Amino acid sequence: MEDDRARFVELFQRHYGAVMRYAARRVGQDRAPDVVSEAFLVAWRRMADVPADDPLPWLYATTRHLLGNEIRGRGRQARLAARMGGIVEMVAADHADLMVDQVRVRRALAELSEGDQEALRLAAWEGLDASAAATVMGCSRAAYKVRLYRARRRLAAALDPVPGREAADAALRPLAHEGGS
């Protein structure tokens, strides 16, 4: 029991920040602490299942499942508010989102499927290599790399639907991290 406690403390201290950033980018700063707390609670309860050598992809995958629950819950709340005739307030994004390029990229990203969005986020935002990202998404390394390639192409098309323009290429430069080719 004491070994589990020490291992958990190290796990928490080492990976809390990364998991918090992962969650905050998906559900915002206000909801992220609750999701991350729940993710680490799952880790504590299932310490035997947490890989000792590289626990971060496991933590991301666990958090991803919890985020799915959070997002579905938000959808139910929005539908309920709409049925009741209430006004659903839009949460204001942080000041960085006001920059034109970021808004444009976020809009283009929102046009993509959730799977495409996640593949891009894992590579660009979380900096995971292909093996770790594949673990998070529950697929093989090769399948993840194909998903990432296709997601990048769809994002480029959403950013700049006019062929021959360089705006999409410029916007994708931060996403050029190959995810551990």
pLDDT computed for residue 92 by the predictor: 45
Q: Which fold has domain 93-181?
A: Arc Repressor Mutant, subunit A (1.10.10)
Per residue in 83-111, pLDDT tens? 655 444 444 444 544 566 677 778 888 88
Contacts of 143 (CB under 8 A, 6+ apart): 134
Per residue in 149-175, pLDDT tens? 999 999 888 887 655 555 555 555 555
Domain extent listing, the chain: 1-91, 93-181
pLDDT computed for residue 124 by the predictor: 86
Residue environment code for 103-138, b if the CB has 16+ CB neighbours within 10 A, otherwise e: eebeebbeebeeebbbbbbbbbebebbbebbbbbbe
- Structurally, at CATH architecture level, domain 1-91 sits in Orthogonal Bundle (1.10)
Mean pLDDT of the chain: 80
Contacts of 52 (CB under 8 A, 6+ apart): 7
